[in-house]
A and B are shown apart, each in its own frame.
Chain A
Amino acid sequence: MTPKKKGWKEIPIGGACWTPTTEYFTGDWRTYKPIFDPEKCNKCLLCHLYCPDAAIEWNASTEEIEFNYKYCKGCGICANECRQGAIRMVLE
């Protein structure tokens, strides 16, 4: 997902950020990926509330939750908190 990394001659000095942090895809860190089962979901949105990376969004048109895999680090908190067992963690 993240483009090719730059060399030391290309980046600004002093750690100055040359891209906004939104373009730093922390989803690259993920080992386990959350998979959503809409059949089991009761739309309580506990997963959305608990996600520490705001990577679970509510899609109003489909009336389903959606994972933003660009930023989901795969911590598994959503799967742990889901009372319905609607989220399972799968090795990437």
Chain B
Amino acid sequence: MTSTKQEIRALNGDEAVAYAAKQCDVDVVAAYPITPQTIIVERFSEYVHNGEVDTEFICVESEHSALTACLAAAATGARTFTASASAGLALMHEILYVTSGCRAPVVMAIANRALSAPINIHCDHADSMVERDASWIQIYVENSQEAYDSIIQAFKIAEHPDVLLPTMVMLDAFYLSHTLESVNVLADEAVRRFVGTRKIPLVTNHEGRLVPFKLDPENPITIGPLALHDYYFEHKRQQEAAMQSALQKIKEIHNEYEEISGRKYGNGLIDPYRLEDAEIASICIGSTAGTTKVVVDQLRAKGVKAGLLRLRTYRPFPSQDIIQALENVEAIAVMDRSHSFGAKGGPIFHEVRHLLYDAQTRPQIVDYVYGLGGRDMSPTLIHEIYRDLERIATTKQIKTPVQFIGVRD
């Protein structure tokens, strides 16, 4: 390990994100404030005001415009960053697809917040889960340290010529966004060396010449115009290929980052905890993993073979890694902090259960929808889930495949 010198700073999740973006030499930030993301762009605008960054900060009138400005800037070859949450991300919905379709490597932080109505500013994952099909890479972090680390990795992942997909990094509202934590930060120089300058691949232009894939008056190209039944499908197929190549790149970049920081999160895609010999396990994303680790330790102390699988990367979905990690687990509880109304459980349950159809021996699997609108997920509730798993592992019988935990009857 050749980790470089670091210093510890007291930062909340939002500040950690802003600090990481500051060190990544971002050219353009366009953003619109929304709780609980506001601190990110507030801090960043202070950096701009104080001359600490060489960044064009564009104040816009909505999130739709914020992402449009970022997309346009990224299309000129600029390194671009924004942040949003909840209704703000929902308003970006249309442009999320335009951004990925134009292969503009915008990096965005999302402070996961519930969607209205009723209005709620607290944490659940509904806002980013509905965008899982938008061809954006999605990384969910467990703590503010990981938020800092993941933003730095995100620029390198998004801008990699084999990937070129926009990337969002999700941190749980308030649990992370507003909670002070000791965050190890790298030296500016170390981050700049790691991220480097944005590399622009070449494409064939309308004159048949190879030119940089960016809007440049010297070498004009057109990006993202009309493609109907004759070519639209081919472009979407390219995006799927980019997602598949991102699986490997996320791992590689995560490993490279470990070399300079000494920190790693599983293999960058999944982050298993005491899973090697586990008989029962839960699966979750985000900060709930931290609480669950405490519960797993308590159960292990009592001799229960409990484990946890935290999904760090949700898009691309690390199918092979998940299948391997769950190989010997007998009973699994997925914890979903969002729900697909009218469906059988939440989105993570759908995908993990679907994946296990191909497993050599199919484990028992149940879903717990929890924590909507910031409802606390206490160790007591997580213990309840593991007790249910112990029962399922013994009896091989599932009473209720989908349950809502922590809600009053």
- Contacting B234 at CB < 8 Å: which of A8, A14, A20? A8
Question: What is the number of residues of chain B that contact chain A, defined by CB distance less than 8 Å?
Answer: 28
Chain A residue at minimum C-beta to C-beta distance from B237:
A8
Question: What is the number of residues of chain A that contact chain B, defined by CB distance less than 8 Å?
Answer: 15
Q: What's the minimum C-beta distance from B387 to chain A, rounded to whole angstroms?
A: 50
* A20 CA to B206 CA, complexed, in Å: 5
Q: A7-B234, A8-B237 are in contact. Are A13 and B205 (CB under 8 A)?
A: no
Q: What's the minimum C-beta distance from B216 to chain A, rounded to whole angstroms?
A: 12
Within 8 A of B (CB), among A1-47: 5-8, 11-21
Interface of A toward B, CB cutoff 8 Å: 5-8, 11-21
**Residues on A with beta carbons closer than 8 Å to the beta carbon of B205:** 16-18
Q: What's the minimum C-beta distance from A24 to chain B, rounded to whole angstroms?
A: 9
**Residues on B with beta carbons closer than 8 Å to the beta carbon of A15:** 101-102, 222-225, 227, 231, 235
Q: A8-B234, A8-B235 are in contact. Are A17 and B206 (CB under 8 A)?
A: yes
**Residues on B with beta carbons closer than 8 Å to the beta carbon of A6:** 234
Contact across chains for B213 and A8 when beta carbons are under 8 A apart = no
**Residues on A with beta carbons closer than 8 Å to the beta carbon of B231:** 5, 11, 15
Interface string of B231-261 (1 = CB under 8 A from A): 1011101100110000000000000000000
B113 at the A interface (CB under 8 A): no
Contact across chains for B221 and A17 when beta carbons are under 8 A apart = yes
16 other contacts beyond A5-B231, A13-B235, A18-B203, with CB at 8 A cut-off? A6-B234, A8-B234, A8-B238, A8-B241, A13-B203, A13-B238, A13-B242, A14-B101, A14-B104, A15-B224, A16-B205, A16-B222, A17-B221, A19-B208, A20-B207, A21-B206
Interface string of B101-114 (1 = CB under 8 A from A): 11110000000000
